[in-house]
Amino acid sequence: MKFLTPELKDKLFKEYKNFTYLVCLLVACFIIVGVKGCVEANKVLYNPGTYTGYGVGVFGGEIKVTITVDKNSIVSVDEIVGDGETPEFGGAYINSGEAEAQIMEAQGQFEIDGVSGATKTRDGIQAALNDALAQASAAK
């Protein structure tokens, strides 16, 4: 170690010290991000229960959506009723079970897709779902 002069030793020590601080800072950031993620994962979104929301479909008819939620998700779509919807489009969409499947897949986080020819029915179902989720919201 004869080639290490006191100046070089000091410089290497400072670099090592800076590197150590950087590693500690990175570890602290990962811990903070991990804790934040855990807290958000345990966040309660809904008050568990069954909720019914209402929307407007084709020709101003009422659409009713009843869902059951636990604290973090939609557990089931219990009922979708839209008696005033056109039987071959909106009515077929409601009766096919596709609306329930789309609601369960999206979990209220995105707009449901609907089907071609049933746009107003889809909009009414989405509004009714949003109404039910607003009632269930733990944030209120």
Give yes or no for a contact between 68 and 50, defined as CB atoms under 8 angstroms apart.
yes
Instruction: Output the pLDDT for position 38.
Output: 47
So what's the pLDDT on residue 82?
A: 92
pLDDT tens per residue across span 42-57: 688 999 999 999 999 8
CA dist., res. 93 & res. 86, Å (int)? 10
Q: Indicate the helix (H) or strand (E) that contains 125.
A: helix 119-136
Instruction: Name the more confident of 32 and 83.
Output: 83
Judge residue 108's burial from the number of C-beta atoms within 10 Å of its C-beta, 0-12 exposed, 13-18 middle, 19 or more buried.
buried
Secondary structure of residue 42 in the 3-state scheme: coil
Q: Please compute the mean of the pLDDT values over residues 100-114 and round it to a whole number.
A: 82
pLDDT > 70 fraction of the chain, expressed in percent and rounded: 70
Read off the pLDDT of each residue in 97-107 and give the average, rounded to a whole number. Answer: 91
- pLDDT tens-digit map of 27-44: 655 666 654 554 455 688
**What number is the average pLDDT over the span 64-82?**
96
Residue 23 is predicted with a pLDDT of: 59
- First CA to last CA across the chain, in angstroms? 69
SS3 content of the chain, % helix, strand, coil (to 5): 55, 20, 25
Please tell me the pTM assigned to this model. Answer: 0.68
Phi and psi angles of residue 127, each rounded to the nearest 5 degrees, phi first? -65, -40
What one-character DSSP code corresponds to residue 137? B
Q: Would you state the pLDDT for residue 108?
A: 79
